[in-house]
Amino acid sequence: MNELQFQSALKEYGIELDDSQLNQFNLYYETLVEWNNKMNLTAITDQKEVYLKHFFDSISAAFYYDFASKPLSICDVGAGAGFPSIPLKIVFPHLKITIVDSLKKRITFLNHLAEQLELNDVAFYHDRAETFAKNKLFRESFDVVIARAVARTSVLSELCIPLVKVDGSFIMMKGPNIDEELQTGKLAIKTLGGELLDNSRFNLPIEDSERHIVHVEKVRISPKKYPRKPGTPNKEPIE
């Protein structure tokens, strides 16, 4: 997907980018490739692939959730090189973004990237999601918590739902064949105070690969015992 195709494909979903935003995406790509030579941020470095599988794919959450109409506080758990929240921030500058990631080098990259792109209202935390969600400053404080291909639903729910305000949203960005995973993850969603609202399916342009945007509403306060200590959700998922 070249820059023109990227712009055109987003326009089909009602998202129009100005020159400044297009320049930010170009600078994002250049910075990503430059830093990827020093540290392993992504296996995808071809420009057309980055625009399709990182930039467009990240923004696809906005096809099924309204990020545009009001200020929102967003927490991105395990964002890696900034996906999906930094592309969303470029498109919707009013968003207040918090990223938590367990690798210090990624946080160093994100701080540099935010400076290069002149982003405001972004904060980056080097922490385990389990620990971060226990912090009273952040627990149940976000309008939206989002995660892209970080872990299976049962694990991800425990890491993310405690961070969501009651009446807020937890959004999972997933690949194909997730019906069984969602079925297995229902108990975790319910236990953590969530309710599965929607599972929207679409195909990524050009390569036609299947994607899912899963929307969970936070309907109750999460039990204080969750998330459990680091590593436990993955070893002993709520299933």
Residue 130, marked binder: yes
What pLDDT was estimated at residue 229? Answer: 96
> Cα–Cα distance between 8 and 112 in angstroms, integer?
29
pTM, to two decimals: 0.96
Segments making up each domain of the chain, as ranges? 3-224
Report DSSP letters for 57-68, one per residue: HHHGGGGTS--S
Q: Report cis status (omega within 30 of 0) of the bond before 93.
A: no
The owner of tokens 């890491």 is 159
Residue 78, marked binder: yes
Would you state the structure tokens that stand for residue 110, as one six-digit string? 């994100």
Average pLDDT rounded to a whole number, residues 35-46 = 91
Average pLDDT rounded to a whole number, residues 149-176 = 95
Name the pLDDT band for 40 (thresholds 50, 70, 90).
confident
3-224 carries CATH number 1.20.120.80:
no
